[in-house]
C-alpha cells in the first residue's frame, strides 16, 4: 500500500491541476457575456401597421406528399431589396458546407444581396455567422465565399468569448485540447463541437430605404439543412431597433470585426422610442427587443402572474429549462389554461437519445398538473418544428414573443446567442388574431382533408423514469446538444 502513495510534489501538482480545472470550469460557466451583447430594450409604442407575423409551415398529406407554406424567405428578400445604406444579417449558416448543394432560399438570398450591392454601390453589408458553418475554419462555405468576393464583410462569431454550457468538458478543452487544435483538422472540429454553444440569433436588420429601420426576428435560417423546417418570425420597425443593431455590432466586434461604423446616423429615424408613438386614431402595440437571459426574465415575469382566466399558448421546438417548467406548472395550478405544441424530438439531435428533452418533459408536465396542462405534438416528416412562439393572453391584452430562443438552458442562460421580439397588443388586433389563428390551426388540425398538423399527447408520451433522469442529467451538467 505504501507504494501507492503519491510523493508530496506529485500530490501538490495533482491538487494544483485539479484546482485549476475547477477554477476554469467555474469561471467560464459563469462569466458574463461580452459587453453590449445582452439586450432588454425599453418597451416602445409602435403602430400595428408596422408589424407583421409570418410563418413557415411544413406538413404532409395522407399520401406523404409535402404540403408547404413559406413566407419568411420572401420577407427577408424584401428587406434586402429595400435597403439603401446597410444590412446586418446574423444567421448560423448560409446554404451548405463546401461540396454540398446550396438550398434554394440561401442561393436566392445570396443573389439578392449581390444584386442589391450592384444597384447600391455604397451599401454596407455585414454577415455574422456561426463558425460551425465553415467547420471552425476547416473550409469555406461556397455562398459565404461569394459574398466575401463581392466585398461583403463576413464575420465568424468567436464562441470562446461566450460562457461555457458544458463546463466539465470545456474547461479541459480550454486548458489542453485547444492547443492541439490545428485549424481545419478533424480533431479540432470534433473537439470544438462538444463545447455545445452557438450563435443562434437568426435575424436581419437594415434601413428600409425611407429613413427608418426594419428587422426580421424569428427562428428561420437560410441553412441547407433547415429548408423544410417550420418557423415563425416577426417583422418590426422603428427607432428602438437601434439597440438591437448595437447588440449585433457588439458581437461582430468581440469576434474580431474592425470595420468602419455603419451609416446609421444618416437615417432620419430618431434613436430609441422617440418618434415611434402612433398618431391619434392608430392602433398601437408596445415592442420590446430581448436577447439571451432577458428573454427568460420577461417570460417568467408574465408566467408568474398568470392565473384564472388567462391563456398560455406555446409553440416551441425544445422545452427543457427547469424554471420555465416550474412556472408553467404554477400558472396551471392558479387556473391558467396552458397549451403546449411541441416537436417530438425524434430528429436525432438529442445526443443519441431520441425523444429527449420534449417527451419526458411533456409527460412530467401533464402528470404533475393532473392533466391541466395540455400537450400536442407537431407531426414532423424528417424536418423539425423549430418555432419559438409564446403567447400569454390576459384580459383584453396579449403578450407575444417570437424569435430564435428555444426554452432550454443553452438558449436562456446565454450559452447560445439568441434573440426575440416581444409585443404587448390588443387581443382583438389583426396581428394578434393572425398569431392565434396560426396556433389554433395547428392545434386543432384545421387543414385540407388528409392533412394533420399535430397529434394527440399519447402519440409520443414517454413516462419512462430512465429517460426523464437522463434528460435532467444532460440539462444540468451541460452535456446536452439541445
Beta carbons of 266 and 85 less than 8 angstroms apart: yes
Q: How many CB atoms lie within 10 A of CB 209?
A: 14
Percent of the chain surpassing pLDDT 90: 76
What gap in Å lies between CA 475 and CA 473, rounded to an integer? Answer: 6
- Mean pLDDT value across the chain: 91
* CA neighbor of 406 nearest in space, from 238, 213, 165, 214: 165
What is each CA distance from 323 to 311, 329, 362, 456, in whole angstroms? 19, 10, 15, 25
Beta-bridge partners for 231: 56
Average pLDDT along the chain, 482 residues, taken 10 residues at a time: 67 88 94 97 92 95 83 97 97 73 81 97 97 91 96 97 95 90 79 94 96 95 90 92 96 96 61 55 84 98 97 97 98 98 81 85 98 97 94 97 97 97 97 97 88 95 94 92 87
Q: How many CB atoms lie within 10 A of CB 5?
A: 9
Q: What is the dihedral of CA 78, 80, 83, 89, to 10 degrees?
A: 130
Beta carbons of 219 and 317 less than 8 angstroms apart: yes
Residue environment code for 336-354, b if the CB has 16+ CB neighbours within 10 A, otherwise e: bbbbbbbbbbbbeebbebe
Beta carbons of 89 and 80 less than 8 angstroms apart: no
What was the pLDDT predicted at 213? 94
Where do we find the cell 501507492?
Answer: 4
Q: Classify the C-alpha dihedral 302-306-309-311 as positive or negative.
A: positive
What was the pLDDT predicted at 372? 98
**Residue 193, burial from CB neighbour count under 10 angstroms (0-12, 13-18, 19+):** middle
pLDDT digits (tens, 9 = 90+) for 103-114: 788 999 999 999
Domains, the chain:
50-266 (3.30.870.10), 284-477 (3.30.870.10)
Length of the chain: 482
Beta carbons of 278 and 32 less than 8 angstroms apart: no
What was the pLDDT predicted at 31? 97
Beta carbons of 96 and 103 less than 8 angstroms apart: yes
What gap in Å lies between CA 291 and CA 95, rounded to an integer? Answer: 25
pLDDT digits (tens, 9 = 90+) for 346-367: 875 655 578 999 999 999 999 9
What was the pLDDT predicted at 348? 56
SS3 letters across 323-342 = HHHHHHHHHHHCCCEEEEEE
What is each CA distance from 460 to 350, 357, 359, 464, in whole angstroms? 15, 12, 6, 12
Beta carbons of 273 and 284 less than 8 angstroms apart: no
What was the pLDDT predicted at 4? 56
What gap in Å lies between CA 343 and CA 106, rounded to an integer? Answer: 24
In the numeric block, which cell numbers belong to residue 178? 485547444
What was the pLDDT predicted at 243? 95
HSE-CB of 243 using CA atoms within 13 angstroms: 21
pTM above 0.85, yes or no: yes
Q: Helix, strand, or coil here: 392?
A: strand
Amino acid at each position: 500500500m505504501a507504494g501507492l502513495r503519491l510523493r508530496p510534489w506529485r500530490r501538490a501538482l495533482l491538487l494544483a491541476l485539479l484546482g485549476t480545472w475547477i477554477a476554469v470550469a467555474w469561471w467560464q460557466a459563469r462569466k458574463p457575456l461580452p459587453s453590449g451583447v445582452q439586450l432588454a430594450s425599453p418597451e416602445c409604442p409602435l403602430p400595428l401597421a408596422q408589424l407583421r407575423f409570418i410563418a413557415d409551415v411544413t406538413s404532409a398529406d395522407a399520401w406523404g406528399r409535402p404540403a408547404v407554406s413559406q413566407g419568411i424567405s420572401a420577407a427577408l428578400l424584401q428587406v434586402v431589396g429595400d435597403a439603401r445604406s446597410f444590412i446586418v444579417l446574423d444567421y448560423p449558416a448560409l446554404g451548405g458546407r463546401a461540396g454540398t448543394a446550396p438550398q434554394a432560399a440561401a442561393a436566392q438570398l445570396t443573389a439578392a444581396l449581390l444584386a442589391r450591392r450592384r444597384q447600391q454601390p455604397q451599401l454596407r453589408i455585414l454577415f455574422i455567422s456561426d463558425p460551425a458553418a465553415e467547420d471552425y475554419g476547416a473550409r469555406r462555405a461556397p455562398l459565404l465565399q461569394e459574398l466575401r468576393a463581392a466585398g461583403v464583410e463576413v464575420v465568424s462569431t468567436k464562441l470562446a468569448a461566450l460562457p461555457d454550457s458544458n463546463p466539465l468538458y470545456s474547461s479541459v478543452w480550454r486548458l489542453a485540447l485547444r492547443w492541439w487544435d490545428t485549424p481545419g483538422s478533424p480533431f479540432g472540429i470534433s473537439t470544438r463541437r462538444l463545447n455545445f454553444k452557438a450563435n443562434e440569433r437568426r435575424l436581419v436588420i437594415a434601413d428600409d430605404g425611407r429613413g427608418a429601420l426594419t428587422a426580421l426576428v424569428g427562428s428561420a435560417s437560410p441553412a441547407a439543412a433547415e429548408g423544410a423546417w417550420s418557423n415563425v418570425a416577426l417583422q418590426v420597425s422603428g427607432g428602438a431597433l437601434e439597440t438591437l443593431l448595437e447588440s449585433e455590432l457588439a458581437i461582430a466586434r468581440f469576434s474580431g470585426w474592425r470595420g468602419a461604423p455603419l451609416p446609421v446616423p444618416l437615417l432620419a429615424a430618431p434613436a430609441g422610442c422617440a418618434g415611434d408613438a402612433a398618431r391619434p386614431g392608430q392602433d398601437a402595440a408596445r415592442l420590446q427587443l430581448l436577447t439571451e437571459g432577458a428573454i427568460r426574465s420577461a417570460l417568467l415575469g408574465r408566467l408568474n402572474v398568470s392565473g384564472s382566466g388567462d391563456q398560455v399558448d406555446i409553440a416551441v421546438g425544445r422545452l427543457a429549462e427547469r424554471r420555465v417548467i416550474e412556472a408553467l406548472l404554477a400558472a396551471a395550478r392558479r387556473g391558467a389554461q396552458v397549451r403546449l405544441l411541441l416537436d417530438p424530438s425524434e430528429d436525432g439531435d438529442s445526443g443519441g437519445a431520441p425523444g429527449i428533452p420534449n417527451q419526458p418533459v411533456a409527460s412530467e408536465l401533464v402528470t404533475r398538473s393532473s392533466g391541466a396542462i395540455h400537450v400536442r405534438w407537431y407531426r414532423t416528416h424528417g424536418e423539425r418544428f423549430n418555432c419559438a412562439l409564446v403567447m400569454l393572453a390576459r384580459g383584453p391584452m396579449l403578450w407575444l414573443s417570437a424569435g430564435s430562443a428555444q426554452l432550454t438552458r443553452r438558449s436562456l442562460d446565454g450559452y447560445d446567442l439568441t434573440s426575440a421580439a416581444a409585443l404587448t397588443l390588443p387581443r382583438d388586433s389583426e396581428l394578434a388574431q393572425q398569431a392565434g389563428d396560426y396556433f389554433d390551426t395547428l392545434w386543432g388540425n384545421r387543414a385540407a382533408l388528409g392533412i394533420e398538423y399535430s397529434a394527440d399527447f399519447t402519440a409520443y408520451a414517454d413516462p419512462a423514469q430512465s429517460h426523464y433522469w437522463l434528460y435532467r442529467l444532460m440539462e444540468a451538467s451541460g452535456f446536452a446538444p439541445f
